[in-house]
Amino acid sequence: MFTGIIQSIGKLKKEKNKLEIEILDNFFDMEIGDSIAVDGICLTVKEIFQNKFTVDVSEETLKKTTLGLNSKPNQIVNLEPALRISDRLGGHIVSGHIDGLGIVENIEKLEKSWLLSLKWKNKNFSKYVVNKGSICVNGISLTIAKYENKGEIFTIAIIPHTWHNTNLHNLNVGESVNLEADALIKYVEKLLFFKRDNKEDFSKNDISSEWLKENGW
């Protein structure tokens, strides 16, 4: 479990299903077997060196995340060690399990911040976008400023500290990012639609005023 507050950045080197990550700043303690979020993806530490560590990554992860799609030489990634019970929850609850990819639609520089507009690659996830709600972008806990097309496209405001201390400033229009929706929204959705022995595909349902009335709301 993570909180979406990036503690360091690293330089990524990929060799087939093995990743080597060099920590570039803000070194943190780790042990073999620890969980580390790499651009929002929960991975397990396999080997530890002086300022590097390695992780194994499955074909499925390479296929469904930016670790495979945005592969670049010396790619910069966001790093966060797993949350301790005693830690402050500075962002929101993040599992490190990517829901889908987002495409960078626009990057706008304002006087004291940046506006980053993203589009879900799979629009079925747009239902998890709510005004002022939380979303995790490349492992960073961020707040949705506005959205359009029922959440398929959404914009987040980035403050200077986040912009300069994560890999967001390396993004270009058209590139992909890892997205994880707020887990609370997904649990609420499942509970609202839950019926014992019901084998419906819950993802295709929509809550309406009629549905709420029928179920006693």
Question: Per residue in 122-153, pLDDT tens?
Answer: 989 999 999 999 999 999 999 999 999 999 99
Looking up residue 168, the CATH number of its domain turns out to be: 2.40.30.20
Residues 46 and 76 in one domain: yes
Residues 118 and 181 in one domain: yes
Q: Is residue 215 part of a domain?
A: no
Residues 19 and 52 in one domain: yes
Residues 13 and 60 in one domain: yes
Residues 105 and 62 in one domain: no
Domain end residue (candidates: 30, 48, 81): 81
Q: Is residue 153 part of a domain?
A: yes
Residues 60 and 116 in one domain: no
Indicate if the pLDDT at residue 196 is higher than 60.
no
Question: Per residue in 148-188, pLDDT tens?
Answer: 999 999 999 999 999 999 999 999 999 999 999 999 888 88
Residue 3's pLDDT is 94
Query: CB–CB of 166/130 below 8 Å?
Result: no
Q: State the Cα–Cα distance between residues 55 and 44, nearest whole angstrom.
A: 6
Q: Could you tell me the pTM of the whole model? A: 0.86
Bigger pLDDT: 84 or 171?
171
Indicate if the pLDDT at residue 70 is higher than 70.
no
Token couple for 194: 């839950």
Indicate if the pLDDT at residue 31 is higher than 90.
yes
Q: Is residue 40 part of a domain?
A: yes
Residues 52 and 13 in one domain: yes
Q: State the Cα–Cα distance between residues 138 and 76, nearest whole angstrom.
A: 11
Q: Is residue 135 part of a domain?
A: yes
Residues 76 and 107 in one domain: no
Residues 171 and 110 in one domain: yes
Percentage of residues of the chain with pLDDT beyond 70: 92
Q: Is residue 169 part of a domain?
A: yes
Number of compact structural domains in the chain: 2
Residues 109 and 177 in one domain: yes
Mean pLDDT taken over the chain: 89
Bigger pLDDT: 157 or 200?
157
Residues 63 and 105 in one domain: no
- Residue 47's domain spans which residues? 8-81
200 — pLDDT class (breaks 50, 70, 90): low
Q: Is residue 208 part of a domain?
A: no
* Lowest pLDDT segment from 39-43, 44-48, 89-93, 114-118: 89-93
Q: Is residue 150 part of a domain?
A: yes
Residues 66 and 110 in one domain: no
Q: State the Cα–Cα distance between residues 30 and 50, nearest whole angstrom.
A: 11
Q: Is residue 216 part of a domain?
A: no
Bigger pLDDT: 191 or 23?
23
Characterize 7-16 residue by residue with b for buried, 16 or more Cβ atoms within 10 angstroms of its Cβ, and e for exposed: bbbbebebee
* Lowest pLDDT segment from 9-18, 52-61, 99-108, 113-122: 9-18
